[in-house]
Structure 1
Amino acid sequence: MSLLRKKRIFYILMAFTLVTVLFAVRIAWIQWASAYKPLTASGRTMNELAVRQREEGILLDPGRGQFVDRNGQPLTGFTRWRPTLFPVSELPDKEHLNILADRLGTTSDELKTLWSSLKVPQHWDRDGQDKKKEYVEAWAVAATDGFEVLPFMDRYPGGTTGKQWLGYVAQRPDTIMKIGNPRLFPLTMQVGASGLERTLDRFLRGTGGTRAYYSVDGKKRPLPGIGTRAEGASNRYYPVQVRTTVDNGIQERLEGIVEQMDVREGAVVVLDAKQGDIVSMVSRPFFDPVHIDLEEGNWSNRAVKAAAPGSIFKTVIAAAALEEGLTHPGEVFHCSGHYGKYGLSCWKKEGHGHITLEQGFARSCNVVFATLGERLSADSVARGAAKLGLNQKVGWNESHFMGGDDLHQLDQEEKGTVFNPAGVVDGGALAQTALGQRDVTVTPLQAANLVVTLLHDGQVTSPRLVTQIRYRDESVMANFPVHTIRGNQGQISARTARLLREWMRLVVTDGTGRTLAQAKWPLAGKSGTAQTKKGGKAMNHQWFIGYGPVSNPKYAVAVLVQNRPTGSEHQAAVLFRRTMDMLAEQGS
């Protein structure tokens, strides 16, 4: 063999030896480093993952941000103690199994069958009650491997509610896929499906939950001295806390009133008269955020859904006619009970006789307002509606909020309508529109906000449902300042706003709202009844909007009771009074 060939073989062997040594060093470093350095998005090391393979885990808290009311009272996030069964190879003896079964309200045979078939941990929640004392006593008396009493975080307090504005969470893999990182956000994670849960979802997701682990060996035998341990993501900023404008005490009392009165369909909106914030918003029928039936539809928030307004729209017509100079306070009309065309008539068959504009408003004379409707043009009516915040979404919104997407606090909000864009607006259409019929639709939120607009001398505000988001360490993530709506139509004059407020008071003292005269506060408002159909049967939507107390307004309220039989009691006026009486008691 030549010297040159020997050198080549030597160099090849040296290179191979060097590569082998470097590879061995690399493998050793990985094994050492991975044992103590995070390998996963949650920060777990290889050593921890090895132990995790011998542990059975159950989620205690998903780590999602929570909501509170304006006073800091929780709206979501309620700790509930539940007995939890972990898969183990050997179950308790018969004596201990009987004790546990008795405390859990079942038979030992049923408990044994369930427990022995477990593949993953499962909490016991048969009766839906939080019986921490009984469960802890059962654990103390019959302490056994694989049974623990653990604190779970329930998102909602349980039962049905009228807080459709808060919404609910659900597993939505399609949404998770759009987020993009399956390690941080597993497909099984629950995300916001409606309400604030949906509109603020990007802030609420957090960075991981808290799980309880029970250590077992490869044969599912408990490892002595380890037992159960909880582990969660450590982060100074998450989960966040969202402060809403709602007073949960008022919300719950109002839900109780709606239920007592057996209101089947409709909504009630209570706004803070000074800032226009949403104090309470109740939608009926109620829904259960834990058990959602999408087809039933009771999860939908009727407070932001548009419906025919009836005579409350006469407020818009009065404002438009005054602003356009087509009428004036004190103008006298004649009502014989019949309008004479378009098949229109007054609700008072014998007529009101000679009646002034303000009296026509207070007594809701159809002849007066059909006349004003025909004096106005379609543009004038639409302009008057826009100046009062109608025919547009009014809920708080901001473009590119915090550098992201546009943010609309209120989910499902509709903008309503004044005229059908494809329809012909002739004299008949104007007269019917003036009575709040034909194509006109308004949401209860818009109706309540219209009252706030009058109280603010014509300035339209944008109702808030959230004022602030705070990080876990109490520092502020985001503020939601009061917004006003500055449309291209301008606003009504302070003089017109003042006149309409005075006329709303006349409704109570000398008009269709006289039943409110005995309320705890002096009130002002406007009633409305819109003809509609349900299942081919003639029905009415009943409305009442207003404010109180008159001398120092604190709240503006809109009530809609839908699909009432024709000729039935005006339930909306009764509900308005009971709402205001409750608010008066709350403030006293």
Structure 2
Amino acid sequence: MKRIRKRIVTAGALFLAALFLLVGRLVQIQLISTESFSKHNINLIDESVRQRTHSFMINEGRGLLLDRKGEMISAELKPAIILFPFIQDQKGTIDEVANILGKSTEEIKNALKDHEEPFVIADDEDQITQEAMEEINGLQRPGVYAQYISRTKHSPFAGALLGVTGQAPEIIKKKYPDKLEKGTITINTKIGKTGLQQAFDPFLISEGETKLIYHVDRSGSPLFGLDVKYLSPSNPFYPVSVKTTMDSTLQGIMEKAIKVSHIKKGGAVLIDIEKNELLGMVSVPYTSGLMKNQMLSQHAPGSVFKIVTAASAIEHQDLANRGTFDCNLGIDGKEAKHALGTLNFSESFAQSCNRTFGLLANEMMKEDPNMIDEYAAKLGLAGTTGWRGQVYHYPDFAQFPEEETGNIWGASSDKKVPLAVSQTAIGQKNVQVTPLAVANMVAAIARGGAVREVKAATEIEYKNGTTFLSFSDHKKENKIEPYTAKKLQMLMRDVVTNPKGTGRALNGLPYKIAGKSGTAEKGDSKTSNKWFAGYFPADQPKYAMVVVDLDYKGGANPVLSAYSDIVKQIYENDKKNK
């Protein structure tokens, strides 16, 4: 008997303990941890409301990227008809909608049948006219709305430049704790992950979604009648728009030309010389949206870097006029792979003689071991090239946050090694620069020697079109002399006009070209970087452009082919718009 009683007491105690645990758990869920339940900090109140709320997002509230003409490039507006499931219980409503849209009643009923959330008929499949939208809204039927909905573009057009958005809860918590606290964003709000979306994210990030919502009971029926609410942010100035410098037409021309040229890794950069604004940028491959932008990454420039060595030679004791050079020899004094004969300085530049620039660099480095560094800086190849400065309360705002800095030397001791100096002078060894920086260097030469930072955006506008802030021009302090720039212009033009020049394939185009080619050998020796950096028209400079193939395997030169194609189409576009 005692044993039975003991078992009953034990069972009772266990039951009471389990009951207390259950009550405690309910207290925790209902009263204590309602806003931060479990290790995942789940807000149970929000989740409960979410389960009882059906909504349709019209606009996620993120700011827009515009091209230089003010056209949207990061998102698109589409006419749409939004149908809430409860209209199935409204007599005649579906018939009216079907009649206006030219569809059958059964077609719309079947579409709604399996939907618990609002169903949208968008302009992707249907030609929804403005008249149809006005007629739909004129019905004034609960659960039936005609709206222009905004959706982010996920197309490869200018993908590397514009970048992508996505969810990143940890970054949200770190960068925007004040917005989280205010409730204008959640940890699932999309942020810019790459490109201009990343650069301007502090301004573009959503200040609240615009959506249609209604509440349902457990069975899915409307909880408060058929009242659908329209919710939107209260601030009339947001979302803002970033007006970029990109020319959509020229961007399209560049993308098509790079694709046709079969450049698999590389791309192109186009700059407006007068304003020093980025007109277009193509980087391939581009598939996931998170791939590295090759135009903002370091690469060996090869003979394009001879522009720096030439500028130094022109400004110091006029070494460029010292005589001729034996271009049958390479930089090591041995027989060259491509014998070019005896050439003077201008001919050496046009035909890209390595021997000439190796010798000149060693002579100059004896006088000043920082000579190459100094002229690389004067031509904008040191540091970064993109616009950077104080913006609002951001002390070091960068329009190209992914841009890598240029590099000239691997070790300072190389400056005392003749072969290392020669290799550096022709853009090999440890020289690494970005295509954006090279395009900017060319723009500076075409302009007369003054280097500026490249802008990708000119201003940020409020929702009502007024200016929130503008980006002023940033000039670099160091620059080459006007005489040096003029001499470089002549040398670069000769690269194209000289019958033996490395850019002679570009002679005879509708716009006269001045530039410099480059081939940088890689460690694997199977591929090389193939460049052409130039500006046009040569007599009235308007555009600076770089095209580069970072996986060149020999044979026909895709860089010159793409360069030629782009120049021709830009000429036709300019002629059409005169």
- TM-score range, shorter-chain basis? 0.7 to 0.9
Give the direction of change, closer, same or farther, for the CA distance of 1:234–1:379 in structure 2 (3 Å limit). same
CA distance in 2: counterparts of 1:447 and 1:519, whole angstroms: 22
Cα 1:229/1:262, change in 2 over 3 Å = farther
Contact (CA 8 Å) 1:165, 1:411: kept in 2 or not? Answer: no
Alignment check: 8 A CA contact 1:239 1:472 kept: yes
Q: Which of the residues 382, 398, 422 maps onto 2:389?
A: 398
Number of the residue aligned with 1:169:
165
**Which residue number corresponds to residue 543 of structure 2?**
555
Cα deviation for residue 228 of structure 1 reads 4.3
Query: Structure 1 residues 401-410 or 420-429, which shifts more?
Result: 420-429
Please say if 1:360 is aligned against 2:345: no
**Does residue 335 in structure 1 map to residue 327 in structure 2?**
yes
Inter-partner Cα distance in structure 1 for 2:51 and 2:548: 57
Specify whether residues 388 and 66 from structure 1 end up closer, same or farther in structure 2 by C-alpha distance, changes over 3 A only.
same
Name 1:60's counterpart in structure 2. Answer: 58
Indicate the SS of the match to 1:461.
coil
Match of 1:573 in 2: 560
Deviates more, 1:321-330 or 1:242-251: 321-330
Q: 2:496 aligns with which of 508, 517, 523?
A: 508
Q: State TM-score, norm by structure 1.
A: 0.78
Identity, in percent, stands at 28
| 1:261, distance to aligned residue in structure 2 (A) | 2.1
Distance 1:284 1:53 in 2: 43
SS at match of 2:211: strand
Partner deviation per Cα, 1:261-298 (whole Å, 9 max, x = no partner) = 222111211111112111111111234xxxx464xx2x
Residue aligning to 1:159: 155
Give per-residue Cα distances to partners, 1:101-160, cap 9 Å, x unaligned: x979x9999957842xx4x546578xx9352439979x98xx99867665421121x432
Distance 1:109 1:243 in 2: 43
494-503 or 415-424, larger mean C-alpha shift: 415-424
Letter in 1 for 2:320: H
Give a deviation string over 1:305-332, Cα, whole Å, max 9, x none: 1111011111111111222326133631
Aligned residue for 1:406, secondary structure, equals: strand
Aligned length in residues: 511
Match of 1:521 in 2: 511
1:187: Cα distance to partner? Answer: 0.9
Find the aligned partners of 1:303 and 1:51 in 2 and give their Cα distance: 47
List gaps (5 residues or longer) in structure 2.
1-47
Query: Structure 1 residues 354, 403: closer, same or farther in 2, change over 3 A?
Result: same
Residue 160 of structure 1 aligns with an amino acid whose one-letter code is P
* Aligned match for 2:454, one of 424, 441, 463: 463
Kindly provide the CA deviation profile for residues 404-423 of structure 1, in whole angstroms up to 9, marking residues without a partner as x.
34100012101121111376
RMSD over equivalenced CA pairs, Å: 3.6
117, 124, 128: which one pairs with 1:129? Answer: 124
In structure 2, the partner of 1:199 is 199
Q: Deviations over 1:219-258 (max 9, x none)?
A: 4324798464532113221111211111111111211221
The amino acid across from 1:323 in the alignment is E
Work out whether residues 363 and 512 of structure 1, in 8 Å CA contact, stay in contact via their aligned partners in 2: yes
Partner Cα separation in structure 1 for residue 258 and residue 395 of structure 2 = 36
Q: 1:481 aligns with which of 472, 486, 493?
A: 472
Name the aligned partner's letter for residue 545 of structure 1.
A
- Decide which structure has greater helix share: 2
Alignment of 1:424-435 (within 5 A): 424-425=414-415, 426-435=417-426
2-structure distance, mates of 1:53, 1:412: 40
Aligned mates of 1:252, 1:476 — CA distance in 2: 28
Q: Is the 8 A contact 1:86 1:214 kept in 2?
A: no
Give the residue type in structure 1 aligned to 2:530: Q
SS in 1 for 2:246: coil
When residues 531 and 217 of structure 1 are mapped into structure 2, their CA distance, relative to the original with a 3 A threshold, is: same
Secondary structure, aligned partner of 1:161: coil
> The residue matched to 1:560 in structure 2 has which SS?
strand
Match of 2:432 in 1: 441
Contact 1:316 1:385 in 2 (8 A): yes
Kindly indicate whether the alpha-carbon contact (under 8 Å) linking 2:85 and 2:112 is maintained by their aligned counterparts in 1: no
Q: 1:74 aligns with which of 52, 72, 75?
A: 72
- 1:321 correspondence with 2:280: no
TM-score of the superposed pair, with normalisation by structure 2: 0.79
